[in-house]
Amino acid sequence: MDLGIKNKYALVTGGTHGIGKAIALSLADEGCNVAVCSRTFPRIRETQEQLKAKGVDCLAIQADVMIKEDINRVFNMVIEKWGTLHILVNNVGGGGRWGKEDIEATDEKVWQEVYEKNVMSSIRFVKLVIPYMRKQKWGRIVNITSIYGREAGGRPWFNIAKTAQTVLMKNLSLKKDLVRNGITFNSIAPGGIMIPDTGWEVEQKKDPVAFRAMLNEKFPLGRLGKPEEVASVVAFICSEKASLVNGASIPVDGSEGRSF
Ligand SMILES: NC(=O)c1ccc[n+]([C@@H]2O[C@H](COP(=O)([O-])OP(=O)(O)OC[C@H]3O[C@@H](n4cnc5c(N)ncnc54)[C@H](OP(=O)(O)O)[C@@H]3O)[C@@H](O)[C@H]2O)c1
């Protein structure tokens, strides 16, 4: 199926590792020109090379989305290079393992930082991109949330932040002046996805037997997801073909989540 997004311009925040990188590569496979931003230089350079190898134009920017000035700088660089943006994927997020199990032992700063990383960064990029999408009468905005953006569970600061990201997309999907100008707003809610060098891998290495038992117990498929399994759904939602999908929160979790 031709997704109809060849030559569009896309920005994937945190597109240099894990789910974000898989999304960036998957959009490039569809012929999109892709910008990514993240903090660590070797990852940025490696992703830039991989995007270039797919024959698309790309931009790889070192930036920290916790810093408002960095967000503005990333966006300005994209606009300077391409003049507009068609697809925004707010992928940077996390904090599900930050703080302590015990809410009383967890500093208030954790709540604020998790909110800032997931929610404020999304809001800031959305505000910057909307005028361009409205003008060109076409846009796709996707927040990468979590099953805990759809139901109660996990650590509360993460649950709140991911839910807020989902609400942001649903709320904007109701704004007639935006959606009647060809912009859609959706959330993709991954379940546990195995990413090298992150929390799941640490847990697996610590106690492989307990980890396997946990997978068997909690995950209907008996396994974690792969970043590419999330990326292919995101690419479809960002496509011309998904024009009626607006305000959706789509689980990509092998039915790990319990919500309908
Ligand atoms: N993996 C899962 O099981 C899972 C489950 C549900 C939801 N999610 C969600 O999926 C999204 C991606 O998670 P992931 O597991 O793929 O994470 P990951 O592998 O750790 O990748 C995160 C990406 O974001 C970048 N990044 C992190 N903090 C940043 C910051 N402050 N400014 C700019 N870039 C930053 C990272 O690069 P640098 O570190 O170099 O900056 C990296 O490119 C998150 O929103 C997460 O909450 C993941």
Of 19, 148, 166, 229, best ligand 1 pocket probe by most atoms within 8 Å of the beta carbon:
19
Query: CB-based contacts of 196: which residues, under 8 Å, 6+ apart?
Result: none
Which CATH architecture is the domain 9-194+226-252 placed in? 3-Layer(aba) Sandwich (3.40)
| pLDDT for the residue 171 | 99
CA–CA gap between residue 161 and residue 154 (Å, rounded): 11
Å from CA of 5 to ligand 1 middle = 25
- Pick from 127, 237, 223: which is nearest to 188 by CA? 237
User: Which ligand 1 atom is at minimum distance from the Cα of 17?
Assistant: 43
Tens-place pLDDT, residues 14-25? 999 999 999 999
116-122: average pLDDT:
98
Tens-place pLDDT, residues 218-229? 999 999 999 999
CA–CA gap between residue 242 and residue 30 (Å, rounded): 14
| pLDDT for the residue 215 | 98
Q: What is the mean pLDDT of the chain?
A: 98
Tens-place pLDDT, residues 27-63? 999 999 999 999 999 999 999 999 999 999 999 999 9
% of the chain at pLDDT higher than 90: 99
Domain range annotation of the chain: 9-194+226-252
Q: In the structure, which protein residues have their CB atom closer than 6 angstroms to any atom of ligand 1?
A: 14, 16-20, 37-40, 43, 63-66, 91-94, 117, 144, 146, 190, 192-193, 195, 198
Residue 138 sits at φ, ψ, to 5 deg, of: -165, 130
CB atoms within 10 A of CB 1: 6
